[in-house]
Chain A
Amino acid sequence: AQSVTQPDIHITVSEGASLELRCNYSYGATPYLFWYVQSPGQGLQLLLKYFSGDTLVQGIKGFEAEFKRSQSSFNLRKPSVHWSDAAEYFCAVGPGGGNKLTFGTGTQLKVEL
């Protein structure tokens, strides 16, 4: 069965500092991987996705993620965090087709000014 682990429940960073959010997945074949962001009181918004090809993918809002098959990881990074990045971030894995996505439990990001 597919699964996603986000080991960090809460992360606090200072504005301007770099950020890395961890995501480890379990999947039997080449996965479709996603990062979504949820601002307070809102639904989720897609940040970026990986299907195949270049293992470093760029997303919106200056985020990027790297797929590492050998480590079963898809970590999200941002070189310089802005206060508006404070939100909850979800990693997701699935087979493609959109109907069997499994979400992680989320990482709550706090940004200190």
Chain B
Amino acid sequence: NAGVTQTPKFQVLKTGQSMTLQCAQDMNHNSMYWYRQDPGMGLRLIYYSASEGTTDKGEVPNGYNVSRLNKREFSLRLESAAPSQTSVYFCASRALDRNEKLFFGSGTQLSVL
């Protein structure tokens, strides 16, 4: 079972460069999420998509855009990367049931120089 797959696993960018982080899930989940993890700050929600065709801002959306391409895929784009966006990024998904369980990918470690 692949679960939630994120690509790439590692990326180094220069300030001002753009890139897209890819996320795909094969569990037929309706909701998908992008979090960033920084030392001493836990996980913070960037954007989420409650269902195909919808996206909403989370706690720290500035500097990011997202696209829910279809039910499986949810991408995160950095248009002009900044050093403050150096972080580990996690994608997660959840089924629309009472289980409330988030399934996480293994993360993308991004460094912006």
Contact = CB atoms under 8 A, between A and B. Distances in A.
B43 A41 contact: no
B102 A98 contact: yes
Interface string A53-75: 00000000000000000000000
A44 interface: yes
- Contact count band on A: 20 to 34
B2 interface: no
A90 to B, nearest CB: 6
Contacts, number: 53
A42 B31 contact: no
B106 A105 contact: no
Given A41-B106, A44-B43, 6 more contacts: A34-B100, A46-B102, A51-B98, A51-B100, A98-B100, A103-B44
A49 B48 contact: no
8 contacts: A43-B92, A46-B101, A98-B100, A99-B48, A99-B50, A103-B42, A104-B42, A106-B42
A106 B44 CA distance: 12
A46 B68 CA distance: 24
Nearest to A91: B42
A13 interface: no
Contacts of B41: 105
A103 B107 CA distance: 17
Contact of A101 (B102, B105, B106): B102
A28 B14 CA distance: 43
A46 B105 CA distance: 13
Contact of B101 (A42, A49, A99, A105): A49
A32 B104 CA distance: 19
Contacts of A32: 100
B104 A43 contact: yes
A41 B88 CA distance: 10
A96 interface: yes
